[in-house]
Structures are given as structure tokens and as C-alpha cells.
Amino acid sequence: MIRVVLPPHLRALALVNDEVRLDVPPPATQRSVLDALETRYPMLRGTIREHGTQRRRAFMRFFACQRDLSHESPDALLPGAVADGDEPFLVVGAIAGG
């Protein structure tokens, strides 16, 4: 079970109030987690990754275990604590504004 925390505007879009728990077949990577997330919540397609290219949208970031994973390969293994469900995979809107 992998835990995903969405930013508030995407929680509202997906109609979820709390973190999302997903069954993701190993290996746990950004791609496999986001694929599972978008399968469960199709309204999130295009809002975290671009349609077509599946690239991370420029103002979205991925954090876990106090690390910034935004620039990791989408196929790199996520930290073991995320794969084990001990720590969440955080989808974060980049800080903007004052």
C-alpha cells in the first residue's frame, strides 16, 4: 500500500479529503504510482503530468522522506519507506507568489 498526499486543489478535484492509499504492483516508481493514481482518479490526468509526454508539469514537485524527487527518473525506485507505506509520496504545488 502506497500513500500519496495531494495538494489541496487536486484533493478537491478528485473529491478526496485525506491522503490516498493505492495498491501499486512493485517496483514502486513515480511512474507506477502516478499511473495507479490516475487510474483510480481519472480527473487527475493532465494535472500532475502532461498529457502525451507524461512529463511532470513544470510547477508540480514530488517529495518523499525529506528529499526532492522531482528530477529523478520517473522509472527510478522510490525510497523503501514509500514503497512500504511508512512514508507518503508527496505531490506538491511549487511555491509561488509572496
Partner 1 sequence: MSEVRVLVGTHKGAFILTADGKREKWDVSGPHFAGWEIYHVKGSPADPNRLYASQTSGWSGQVMQRSDDGGKTWAPVGNEFRYDGVPGTHQWYDGTPHPWEFKRVWHVEPSPADPDIVYAGVEDAALFRSADGGKSWEEVSGLRRHATGSKWQPGAGGMCLHTIIHDPADPRRMFIAISAAGAFRTDDGGTTWKPINRGLRSQYIPDPAAEVGHCVHRIAQHRSRPNVLFMQKHWDVMRTDDAGDSWREVSGNLPTDFGFVIDVHAHEPETVYVVPIKSDSEHYPLDGRLRVYRSRTGGNEWEALTRGLPQQDCYVNVLRDAMAVDSLDACGIYFGTTGGQVYASADAGDSWKPIARDLPAVFSVEVQTLT
Binding residues vs partner 1 (CB under 8 A): 7-10, 12-13, 43, 45-48, 50-52, 57, 59-60, 93-94, 96
| Least Å from the CB of residue 91 to partner 1 | 10
* For partner 1, the closer CB: 9 or 67: 9
| Least Å from the CB of residue 44 to partner 1 | 9
Residues 34, 68: Cα–Cα separation, whole Å: 16
* Bridge partners of residue 49, in order along the sequence: 56
Parallel, antiparallel, or unpaired: how do β-strands 2-5 and 89-93 relate?
parallel
| Least Å from the CB of residue 27 to partner 1 | 27
**Rg of the Cα trace of the chain?**
12
